Amino acid sequence: MRPTRNCSELELAHRTPAAIRLELTQLHGSGSRPCFRGFTPCRASSSTVPLHMFHTNPLRTDRIFSMRFLLLLLALAACGPKTVSLDPAAAQAAAWAAQQAALRAQIRELWNYEDPGVSEAKFTQAAATAATPEDRDQLLTQKARAAGLLGRYEDAQKLLDGIENPEGVVKMRVLLERGRLIRSMGDAQSSLPYFHEAWELGRQLHDDALSVDAAHMSAIASDLDAAISWTEIGLDLARKSPDPDAGRWIGPLTNNLGWSYHDAGRFEDALRTWEECLAWHQANDTGQGERIARWTVARGMRSLGRFEEALEIQLQVLIDTKENREPTGLVHEELGELYLALGRESSATRHFQKAYDALKLDAYIKTKEPERLRRLKRLAGK
């Protein structure tokens, strides 16, 4: 149930654990996929979510923004031209901001990280009917991302190369997707310049949401120390930004930062950060995301020796995951570890058996963590 360090893009909230892992990280095998490889406790290498991943209603805030802008124009019109004059530059900026909010909402709606092929087809159609060339190019960057997730790296590169003389937000998206693509191809180090340039451009453009994405990708492509620094930078911006699209990153980034702290042996910092993550999910009513966050808080407690507290939480998580018909293998594994730490070996064995029966079918664990499966099998008495 462990979210990976690279939680990729905020796609995580609506994905199943298996899809989240794809790597959601693709968060994004290509990098952004929000943030979590299913619930698999492992240090992420990252793609979006992601995913990647942990966000509020994807359309509500954008619609509110657009509606407020429309009401503002209506109110100004009602005052009459002699009473109020709307600065043309301000009006143009506000209209552009509303258009971008609507486009981002559309992009979120078109993404299905569990089936990038479906998303690719949708982005193709949307790009063909886009309102402006800039909108079209932004949609094409997402089509390229989908192609990358499908392992068609050459096709993805051609799509990005076909976007001529990108500027502004389009350039920023091209940089992000080139970086994600390179990272997905196994060269994390070479992806970093693209993410760093995207971050600098984002700050120049005052685009908080894509800036946070750039910081997130810089983190998941870096070593542990740099990952902590970049995640802290992105999280600070997400917390302070008035942009709801930036604020949606708080859940994934607190998850990722907690795991980075945990990997560094900073267990108190990890638990504190995961508790913030849990509070965010509870405030945003994310459903499965909230259950994962509770699992993670209990995992942090186990690392601090707070076994009884962790056990109480995990038992409730087990009940809730069953009620929602979600995978329980990782919950059983954690319960086994807690009962083992408490000296209750018969209970531990029972949960290890259930964990092994579920996780032995997990392709990621079979491929990446065979020793973990062997240990589970042994502890299950099989």
**Is the previous residue joined to 72 through a cis bond, with omega within 30 degrees of 0?**
no
Tokens standing for residue 255: 């998850």
**Residue 37: how many CA atoms within 13 Å on its side-chain side?**
25
- Cα–Cα distance, 106 to 123 (Å, whole number): 10
pLDDT in the model for residue 87: 77
Backbone angles phi, psi at 7, to 5 degrees: -65, 90
Q: Is 223 exposed, middle or buried (0-12, 13-18, 19+ CB in 10 A)?
A: exposed
**Residue 34: how many CA atoms within 13 Å on its side-chain side?**
38
pLDDT in tens, the chain (382 residues): 554 344 443 333 333 333 333 323 333 333 333 333 333 333 333 333 333 333 333 333 444 444 444 444 444 455 555 444 557 877 877 887 888 889 999 999 999 998 999 999 999 999 999 999 999 999 999 999 999 999 999 999 999 999 999 999 999 999 999 999 999 999 999 999 999 999 999 999 999 999 999 999 999 999 999 999 999 999 999 999 999 999 999 999 999 999 999 999 999 999 999 999 999 999 999 999 999 999 999 999 999 999 999 999 999 999 999 999 999 999 999 999 999 999 999 999 999 999 999 999 999 999 999 999 999 999 999 8
Is residue 74 left, alpha or beta, with left meaning phi > 0 and alpha meaning psi from -120 to 50? alpha
Helix/strand number for the chain, H first, E second = 19, 0
Is residue 287 left, alpha or beta, with left meaning phi > 0 and alpha meaning psi from -120 to 50? left
CB 23 within 8 A of CB 47: yes
Q: Is 363 exposed, middle or buried (0-12, 13-18, 19+ CB in 10 A)?
A: exposed
Return the closest-CA partner of residue 38 out of 331, 373, 377, 274: 331
Any idea which residue has 């020793």 for tokens? 371
Superfamily the domain 10-327 falls into: Tetratricopeptide repeat domain (1.25.40.10)
pLDDT digits (tens, 9 = 90+) for 29-49: 333 333 333 333 333 333 333
Domain segments of the chain as ranges: 10-327
Who's near 213: CB < 8 A, 6+ residues apart? Answer: 9, 32, 176, 198, 249
**Residue 326: how many CA atoms within 13 Å on its side-chain side?**
25
Return the closest-CA partner of residue 247 out of 255, 236, 257, 256: 236
pTM, whole model, 2 decimals? 0.78
pLDDT in the model for residue 11: 36
Return the closest-CA partner of residue 255 out of 15, 18, 1: 1
